[in-house]
Structure 1
Amino acid sequence: MAAPLKLAFMGSPGFAVFPLKALVAAGHEVMAVYAQPSKPAGRGQKEQPCPVHAAALELGLPVRTPVKLRKNQEELDYFRNLKLDAAVVAAYGLILPQEFLDAPERGCLNIHGSLLPRWRGAAPIQAAIAAGDAQTGITIMQMEAGLDTGPMLRKDTTPIGPADTSADLHDRLAEMGARLIIEELAQPSPPQAQDEALANYAPKLSREDARLDVRLPAVALERRIRAFSPWPGALGLLGDVVVKIISAEAVEGEGIPGTLLPGGLTIACGEGALRVTRLQRAGKAAMSTEDFLRGYKLPEGARFY
């Protein structure tokens, strides 16, 4: 077994909890955990720690939640004084200035949720599904000042199945990332430069991305439904109610985009048609299309838009 290292861990969402726990289980000394500050959540809008913060408290690890790292001399001094062998970063949410990247002896290693340089940015899992990629994976990367541009150290792949959602890939990739970072810390890999010509950017998603544009091909919409599950979802107005489409399939059919075609709940798209198989109304449980149509009578001439 490799000698334990002195590490900082920097992450925020559930994706990053897997590697944090793996590092502790492997015997590494996690000197500090950096996470996004707590935010109001729930009906009472009480401040809730992010998943990594909560996991760190359960593990008895010290937690730091700076609002910013740029021009934060106090935090930089603290970070330098940890005398780290390395820092491990996974979906932290803050840009690390160069002086932070340079502080640990082995620098900062990022667990990135795609096969770089295919998808850089905040939403690589969703981007891979939406683009129809046949596979995705994890890249362990040596961080530098650019956004996900650093040398690649270690990779592994997983296929994207025809029914895979972002939630499905999230857990597979999180477990893969935990395994790969343990391997990389134990046996460092030679760095490999990224091919800039192959790079694409996957921007952070927002609630506005949930709205389905039926002018797109049905195949593209089916992928977006899976890519945006569970968040931000795939929404549209059906008749006079807002619905969230949970699952659907691309089928043959044509008509003015948004027109409802014969056969269950089938929506004409820019190319082909989308047959909805499962959906959800606000405040209601998800249900099959058959159950939905039994309980809700579509207005005459209803459209989806």
Structure 2
Amino acid sequence: MPLRLIFMGTPEFAVPTLRVLHEAGHEIAAVYTREPKPAKRGLKLQPSPIEQEARRLGISVLTPTSLKTPEALQQFRAHKADAAVVVAYGVILPQAILDAPKHGCYNLHASLLPRWRGAAPIQRAIMAGDAETGVMVMKMDAGLDTGDVAMTGRIAITDAMTAADLHDALAPLGAGLMVRAMEALERGKLQLRPQGDQGVTYAARIDKAEARIDWDKPARAVLRHIHGLSPFPGAWCEMPLDGGTRVKILRCELADGAAAPGELLDDRLTMACGEGAMRIIELQRAGRAPMQVQDFLRGTPLNRRRG
């Protein structure tokens, strides 16, 4: 018998999971998401990607500012859900909310727990040079991503992957994993195991102060830093262009060459690093759209100096 579920999520990453749970025949009693925010200064409020998908599917949407009030708890309990599915909701769930569904709350987390608990697991895995990451379904408890794990999906991280690429690979992988987990829960066959105590790391929120590129680091570390912050907030440097120009580098590749870190090695935007070199593939000037390097270089004068 299909489950009666509450779905809690906000960004685009959560949309595939909501969609496939609905397609699998589970009853989505309500969708909880963050309140709409202004798209840009002076423009109308923009509902979250999850709110837009829920309304397309004809599912009731709730955007409470808090889940800690008696009224919020009463409303949550009134759904009489078998379970809640949580995917990047962006709100900490109080214990009373965690305890409300019959079978508890299940979170889809984008890392191989206990590595990269916290807010930015996709970006941190790339920036740290991890060879693989994945998604996990866990039963939530009061800790920060400390709950028992039900299912795991893995994926390799290549040097060519940006945070956007990895996001787009993990979202459908996680959606399929959550559907399998809910099917097992429905049959009473879902098995949980505690997370290990070894290898615990925390994925702190990305601070814009981290975004400046340090050319003194080895080329692969520079590449992983750039790709982990692409497209947002975007790793940046002062590019050796006419007059000096601040640009975000969105995609790059390892290259041959050596010089003082930050020096421009050729007219293809190959930059020297502390060890080795890195060639820029895609970049973005302030207020402009992202562009491929060959388009960027047309008519752009270069100065051979440190970036």
State the TM-score, normalized to the length of structure 2.
Answer: 0.91
Would you identify which runs of 4 or more consecutive aligned residues in structure 1 move more than 4 Å?
A: none
CA RMSD of aligned residues (A): 1.8
| Aligned residue identity for 1:31 | A
How far apart are 1:50 and its partner, in Å? 0.8
What stretches of structure 2 of length at least 5 have no aligned partner? none
Query: What corresponds to 2:20 in structure 1?
Result: 22
8 A contact 2:265–2:272 mirrored in 1: yes
Structure 1 residue corresponding to 2:117, chosen from 106, 116, 120: 120
Structure 2 residue corresponding to 1:294, chosen from 286, 293, 298: 298
After superposition, residues 57-206 of structure 1 pair within 5 angstroms as: 57-70=55-68, 72-188=69-185, 189-206=190-207
8 A contact 2:262–2:305 mirrored in 1: no
8 A contact 2:250–2:284 mirrored in 1: yes
| Aligned residue identity for 2:63 | T
How far apart are 1:273 and its partner, in Å? 2.3
How far apart are 1:152 and its partner, in Å? 0.4
What is the alpha-carbon distance in structure 2 between the residues aligned to residue 120 and residue 273 of structure 1? 32
- Count of residues paired in the alignment: 300
171-180 vs 3-12, which moves further: 171-180
What is the alpha-carbon distance in structure 2 between the residues aligned to residue 285 and residue 55 of structure 1? 27
What is the alpha-carbon distance in structure 1 between the residues aligned to residue 295 and residue 81 of structure 2? 57
| Aligned residue identity for 1:117 | P
What is the alpha-carbon distance in structure 1 between the residues aligned to residue 165 and residue 296 of structure 2? 25
What is the alpha-carbon distance in structure 2 between the residues aligned to residue 13 and residue 175 of structure 1? 14
What stretches of structure 1 of length at least 5 have no aligned partner? none
| Aligned residue identity for 2:43 | Q
Provide the identity percentage: 50
What is the alpha-carbon distance in structure 2 between the residues aligned to residue 303 and residue 293 of structure 1? 18
How far apart are 1:285 and its partner, in Å? 4.0
Query: What corresponds to 2:211 in structure 1?
Result: 210
| Aligned residue identity for 2:159 | P
8 A contact 1:209–1:232 mirrored in 2: no
How far apart are 1:263 and its partner, in Å? 5.8
How far apart are 1:252 and its partner, in Å? 4.3
What is the alpha-carbon distance in structure 2 between the residues aligned to residue 20 and residue 291 of structure 1? 39
What is the alpha-carbon distance in structure 1 between the residues aligned to residue 57 and residue 229 of structure 2? 31
Q: Does 1:4 align with 2:7?
A: no
Aligned to 1:196, the other structure's residue is in SS state: coil
Query: What corresponds to 1:277 in structure 2?
Result: 281
| Aligned residue identity for 2:237 | G
126-135 vs 12-21, which moves further: 126-135
